[in-house]
Structure 1
Amino acid sequence: MLIKQEGIILKTIDYGESNKIATVLTKDSGKLSVMAKGAKKPNSRYAAVMQPFVYGSFVYFKGSGLPTISQGEIILSFKQLHYDLFKAAHAAYITELIEKLTEERRPYVFLFDLLLLALKQIDTGQDPEIIARIVDLKMLTVAGAKPNLDGCASCKSVERDPIAFSIPFAGFLCSGCVHRDERAYPVTLSMVKLIRTLFYVDLTKLGSISIKRETKERLHQIISSYYQEYVGVTLKSQRFIDQLKKVDGNHFKLDEKKD
């Protein structure tokens, strides 16, 4: 049976001398693994469409084994993601996270839209780190680890302003409950607002956003700790991003010395 669907390439792996197996996030059928025969050959008609981040239209044969691609056309290739290493690294982070936290053949309509919008935002100049943090927060619901962001995670009060984020309590703590977790991350009201905004924001309505480096690092620290406790995924792409930041930091220090 031939099936036509639109999808986004999450990852590809080589299979045999000339083939590739692609993991594709489709809107209607969720995550699928499909075979693209001969895709490793330079002159293959699948060579271009079987690249990470490509949004394409695919026709595949569904039989008893692994579905096999018979046609593939690029809808969007997100060229900037292939030319800018920092953008590519964060796009890889997002696709790897989604690949890790989703099940085969389970429809995730909102997730397909989220990924497509995230790639578009990064490709057109939005801060890749902020887009990655938005996806981080929204994927917590998919992982069954949604934090309590609407009030105090301990006493449930919505009257008192949060002053800390607690990993054990899975959310914010107010001034009356902060003593319950000595290791809770202190947060300002602006950080509370930022976390809530990034969690609930509709990417179609996201305007230009600029956040200080130290704020982004603090936000990432909190989210990473939360993921380690409740989700337990380790991403290869994060290690690569860390290496890029070290190189960028060293260049910045050298420039400072020259000045």
Structure 2
Amino acid sequence: MLQKIEGIVIRTSNYGETNKIVTIFTREKGKLAFMARGAKKPNSRLSSVTQPFTHGSFLAHSGSGLGTLQQGEMLSSMRHIREDLMATAYAAYMAELLDKSTEEKQPNPYLYEFFEQSLHYLNEGYDAEILTNIFEMKMLQVIGLRPELSSCVNCGSQEGRFAFSIRENGLLCHRCFDIDPYLLPLSPAAVKLLRLFYFFDLSRLGSINVKEETKKELRAAISMYYDEYSGLYLKSRRFLDQMEKMQAMLGEKKDDD
């Protein structure tokens, strides 16, 4: 059956000398994989539209097994993402997190819109670290994880100072700190942003300006939570961590000069 779909390329793998297997997260059908015959040839009409992060309209033949990609029209090349190494690293992490958190052929129009919007903001040059934090917090619900962020996980209080407890799966107020000796202290700004990222609508995102100290707090809390509960091992996350460390080192060296 021939079908027209809109989607974003989230993964490609080589198949033989000239072919690719392309995984596309689609608006209509969720995650789908297709054989793109000849797509590795530079002069192939499928070469450009099967690049990672390409947003396109595709014509594909699908059946009971692996479908075949017939043609595609690029809607957005996400040029900045593909030309900037750090942006590429963040986009690759988002794409792999989405890929590992979803099953094939499970439509989720909300998730598609969210992913497309996230890449659009990244392509527009918004703060990549914060966009990634928002993406991670929103993906928790897709994975089936629901930390308590609206009030203290132990007493229910919404007032006071808060810290993040990995063990207790949420925030603890200062009156309940003694419950978890390994809790992660957070500044009020970090607590506010964790809540905001988890609950708010990405389409309402305005200008982003977060202090470096707060970014470090967010990174630590989110990374520790994912490591403890998600069960995911993402190569792109390890690569991104290395890239961030290298970027920080270069920044420090530049300051010294």
- Is the TM-score greater than 0.5? yes
Post-superposition CA distance 1:183-230 (Å, at most 9, x none): 111122222111111112222110011111221121011011111111
For the residues of structure 1 that align with 2:91 and 2:161, how far apart are their CA atoms?
A: 32
The one-letter code matched in structure 1 to 2:95 is T
In structure 1, the partner of 2:196 is 197
For the residues of structure 1 that align with 2:160 and 2:114, how far apart are their CA atoms?
A: 30
SS at match of 1:105: coil
For the residues of structure 2 that align with 1:226 and 1:254, how far apart are their CA atoms?
A: 31
Identity between Structure 1 and Structure 2 (%):
44
**Cα deviation, residue 45, structure 1:** 0.4
For the residues of structure 2 that align with 1:248 and 1:70, how far apart are their CA atoms?
A: 41
In structure 1, the partner of 2:89 is 89
Distance 1:162 1:25, change over 3 A: farther
Alignment pair present for 1:215 and 2:214: yes
**Cα deviation, residue 162, structure 1:** 4.4
SS at match of 2:175: coil
The one-letter code matched in structure 1 to 2:225 is Y
Post-superposition CA distance 1:97-122 (Å, at most 9, x none): 00010011111111100110000101
Alignment pair present for 1:236 and 2:231: no
**Contact persistence 2:8–2:56 (CA under 8 A):** yes
**Cα deviation, residue 171, structure 1:** 0.6
For the residues of structure 1 that align with 2:14 and 2:197, how far apart are their CA atoms?
A: 36
The one-letter code matched in structure 2 to 1:57 is S
For the residues of structure 2 that align with 1:60 and 1:202, how far apart are their CA atoms?
A: 32
- TM-score, normalisation: structure 2: 0.96
For the residues of structure 2 that align with 1:77 and 1:123, how far apart are their CA atoms?
A: 10
For the residues of structure 2 that align with 1:30 and 1:256, how far apart are their CA atoms?
A: 46
Structure 1 gaps, min length 5: none
In structure 2, the partner of 1:79 is 79
SS at match of 2:221: helix
**Contact persistence 2:190–2:217 (CA under 8 A):** no
Matches within 5 A, 1:34-183: 34-158=34-158, 160-183=159-182
**Cα deviation, residue 257, structure 1:** 3.1
Structure 2 gaps, min length 5: none
**Contact persistence 1:162–1:172 (CA under 8 A):** no
SS at match of 1:64: coil
**RMSD of the alignment, in Å?**
1.2
- TM-score, normalisation: structure 1: 0.96
**Number of aligned pairs?**
257
The one-letter code matched in structure 2 to 1:169 is E
SS at match of 1:176: helix
For the residues of structure 2 that align with 1:144 and 1:42, how far apart are their CA atoms?
A: 41
SS at match of 1:116: helix
Distance 1:217 1:188, change over 3 A: closer
For the residues of structure 1 that align with 2:37 and 2:72, how far apart are their CA atoms?
A: 12
